[in-house]
A and B are shown apart, each in its own frame.
Chain A
Amino acid sequence: MITFLASVGAIFLAFLAATGRLFLFAARAILAGLTPPYYPRLVLREIVNIGYFSLPVVGLTALFTGMVLALQSYSGFSRFNAESAIATVVVLSMTRELGPVIAGLMVAGRVGAAMAAEIGTMRVTDQIDALATLSTDPLRYLVLPRLVAGLLTLPALVLVADVIGVFGGYLVSTYKLGFEPVAYLTHTRQFLETMDVVDGLIKAAVFGFIVALMGCYHGYNSRGGAEGVGQSTTYAVVSASILILVFDYLLTAALFD
Chain B
Amino acid sequence: MNGAATPKIAVRGVEKSFGAKRVLDGVDIDCAAGESLVIIGGSGTGKSVLVKCILGLLRPEAGSIRIDGMETVGLGGAARAALMHKFGMLFQGGALFDSLRVWENVAFGLIQGRGMERGKARTIAIEKLAAVGLGPEVGMLRPAQLSGGMQKRVALARAIAAEPEIIFFDEPTTGLDPIMADVINRLIVKCVRELGATAISITHDMTSAKKIADRIAMLHQGRIVWHGPTADIDHSGNPFVDQFVHGRADGPIQMEVRAA
Contact = CB atoms under 8 A, between A and B. Distances in A.
A75 B170 CA distance: 68
B93 A132 contact: no
Contacts of A180: none
Interface in B60-113: 81, 84-85, 87-89, 91-93, 95-98, 108-109, 112-113
Contacts of A137: 81
Interface stretch (A4-12, A122-130, A194-202): A122-130
Interface string A120-151: 01100111011011111100010000000000
A132 B108 CA distance: 11
B57 A135 contact: no
Contacts of A134: 108-109, 112-113, 158, 162
A129 B88 CA distance: 12
A126 B91 contact: yes
Given A135-B81, A135-B85, A130 B91 contact: yes
A222 B138 CA distance: 31
B95 to A, nearest CB: 4
A134 B97 CA distance: 12
A37 B52 contact: no
A20 B124 CA distance: 43
Contact of B84 (A126, A133, A141): A133
Contact of A132 (B84, B85, B92): B84
Nearest to B86: A135
A27 B115 CA distance: 25
Interface residues of A, number: 15
Nearest to A130: B95
B114 interface: yes
Interface residues of B, number: 25
A125 B92 CA distance: 9
A147 to B, nearest CB: 18
Contact of A129 (B81, B91, B158): B91
Interface string B41-55: 000000000001001
Contacts of B85: 135
A77 B12 CA distance: 78
B200 to A, nearest CB: 13
B112 A135 contact: yes
For A37, A127, A129, A130, which residue has the most chain B Cβ atoms within 10 angstroms?
A130
A126 B95 contact: yes
Contacts of A132: 55-57, 84
A130 B89 contact: yes
Contacts of A130: 89, 91, 95-97
Contacts of A135: 81, 84-85, 109, 112-114, 162
B112 A141 contact: yes
Nearest to B112: A136
Contacts of B57: 129, 132-133
Contact of B95 (A37, A127, A136, A141): A127
A132 B168 CA distance: 14
Contacts of A136: 108-109, 112-113
A143 B87 CA distance: 24
A188 B57 CA distance: 57
Interface of B: 52, 55-57, 81, 84-85, 87-89, 91-93, 95-98, 108-109, 112-115, 158, 162
10 contacts: A37-B115, A122-B97, A127-B95, A127-B97, A127-B98, A129-B91, A132-B55, A132-B56, A132-B84, A133-B88
Given A126-B91, A126-B92, A135-B114, 17 more contacts: A121-B98, A125-B95, A127-B95, A127-B97, A129-B55, A129-B89, A129-B95, A130-B95, A132-B84, A133-B55, A133-B84, A133-B109, A135-B84, A135-B109, A135-B113, A136-B113, A141-B112
